[in-house]
Amino acid sequence: MSILCAEGVTAGYTEVDILNEVHLRVEPEEIVSIIGPNGAGKSTLLKAIFGLLKPRKGRILLEEEEITGLSPDRIVRKGLSYVPQVHNVFPSLTVQENLEMGAFIRTDDYSSRMEEIFQLFPLLKERRKQKVGQLSGGQRQMVAMGRALMLDPRVLLLDEPSAGLAPLLVSLIFEKIQEINATGVAVVIVEQNAREALKLSHRGYILAMGRNVMDDEAQALLDNEEIGRLFLGG
């Protein structure tokens, strides 16, 4: 049984469809990359899944339950979390307050969850009292991911987690994604850094012009010469 499934999703910001009958399937504990050129609709697909954009056609299922058209604050309660590409932290709040906001809907004691996140990102623990606006890009990305993990999601959607980061930080963030996945969280990554993303993924989807081009095991995509030339920068 797939944990997350998008079927025939058509969506756009205006009357123009950015996505055309796109499908996506995520199995439990998988890392799935969505790659493709700029403007392919990768980020739009995540937004449509997370309810930030209402699909005109198609269905989105989270563990067989239809979540199509629900608002983000409802969807997040069902075990799906999302980290936007930009503006993904609350800059005037401290690190700890950002994590608390991630746990806003929790009414139980979430201090042990916060401790787990501090173990994943030890740097955040040191900076817990600091305002996030004063942190570097890589540290902000950690805060953003930490916030999204506060609810113990079953699926984590990451929109370009490596965007704008120095190469060393990119590999650090990718390592963290694998650590998160190892705790049983399925991860969907949209990435420009396609080759690196596929290396840590189980499977990959290639989108172009708002349509599915191909999907396969990540290794098979990496080994495919034509895909390499067209979508992975040679």
Partner 1 sequence: MVELFIYGIVLGGIIALGAVGLTLVYGILRFANFAHGDLMSAGAYISLFLMSVLFSGMGIPDSNFAPLSIGWRMVLAFPLSMLAVGGVAIAMDRILYRKLRHKNSPAVMLAMSALGASFIIRMIILILWGADYRFYRPGVLRPALSLPLGVKIRPDQLLILSVVTVLVILLHLFLQKTKMGKAMRATADNMELARVSGIDTERIILWTWGIGGALAAAGGILYGIDVQVHPGMGWNFLLPLFAAAILGTIGNVYGALVGGFVIGVAQQVSTAFLMPTYKPAVAFLIMIGILLIRPQGIFGGK
Provide the binding-site residues for partner 1, judged by CB under 8 A: 50, 52, 71-73, 76-77, 82, 84, 87-93, 97-98, 100-102, 104-105, 147, 151
Name the residue nearer to partner 1 (CB basis): 8 or 164: 164
Name the residue nearer to partner 1 (CB basis): 98 or 181: 98
Name the residue nearer to partner 1 (CB basis): 61 or 93: 93
**Cβ-count burial of 65 within 10 angstroms (0-12 exposed, 13-18 middle, 19+ buried)?**
exposed
**Cβ-count burial of 234 within 10 angstroms (0-12 exposed, 13-18 middle, 19+ buried)?**
exposed
Strand ranges (E), the chain: 4-11, 19-26, 31-35, 57-62, 65-66, 80-83, 155-159, 186-190, 203-208, 211-217
Give the distance, in angstroms, between the CA of residue 234 and the centroid of all CA atoms in the same chain: 25
Smallest separation (angstroms) from partner 1 to the CB of 133: 8
Side chain identity at 110, as an amino acid letter? Y
Smallest separation (angstroms) from partner 1 to the CB of 135: 14
Count of helix runs (H) and strand runs (E) in the chain? 10, 10
**Which residues lie across from 82 on neighbouring strands?**
157
Helices (H), 150-224: 167-182, 194-200, 218-223
As a whole number of Å, the CA-based R_g of the chain is: 17
Name the residue nearer to partner 1 (CB basis): 29 or 100: 100
Smallest separation (angstroms) from partner 1 to the CB of 213: 28
Give the distance, in angstroms, between the CA of residue 123 and the centroid of all CA atoms in the same chain: 21
Smallest separation (angstroms) from partner 1 to the CB of 56: 19
Name the residue nearer to partner 1 (CB basis): 94 or 201: 94
Smallest separation (angstroms) from partner 1 to the CB of 170: 23
Smallest separation (angstroms) from partner 1 to the CB of 138: 18
Name the residue nearer to partner 1 (CB basis): 76 or 218: 76
